[in-house]
């Protein structure tokens, strides 16, 4: 059984993936995995955790710098 913190971390992870994918779709017409590998998504998530900014802002800036 997962602890409350693990459930919260899973939720943040899935929200991050969704936000990043939505932003890629909005800016390029294709989802996240059409552009970057799953390992790169993991690295982007680690970078997001260090910056302490809202997910949507990070996703927008990340995609802009990528495209």
Domain count, the chain: 1
Domain span at 14 = 4-66
- Angstrom distances, CA of residue 57 to CA of 4, 5, 14, 28: 26, 24, 16, 17
pLDDT tens-digit profile of 22-64? 999 999 999 999 999 999 999 999 999 998 899 999 999 999 9
Q: What is the dihedral of CA 46, 39, 20, 7, to 10 degrees?
A: -60
Buried-state track 14-49, b at ≥16 Cβ within 10 A, e below 16:
eebbebbbbbbeeeeeeebeebbeeeebeebbeebe
How much is the pLDDT for 8? 84
Tell me the three state secondary structure of residue 4: helix
């Amino acid at each position: 059984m997962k602890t409350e913190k693990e459930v919260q971390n899973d939720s943040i992870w899935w929200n991050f993936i969704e936000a990043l994918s939505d932003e890629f779709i909005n800016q390029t017409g294709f989802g996240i995995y059409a552009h970057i590998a799953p390992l790169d998504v993991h690295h982007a998530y680690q970078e997001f955790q260090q910056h302490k900014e809202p997910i949507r802002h990070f996703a927008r800036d990340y995609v802009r710098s990528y495209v």
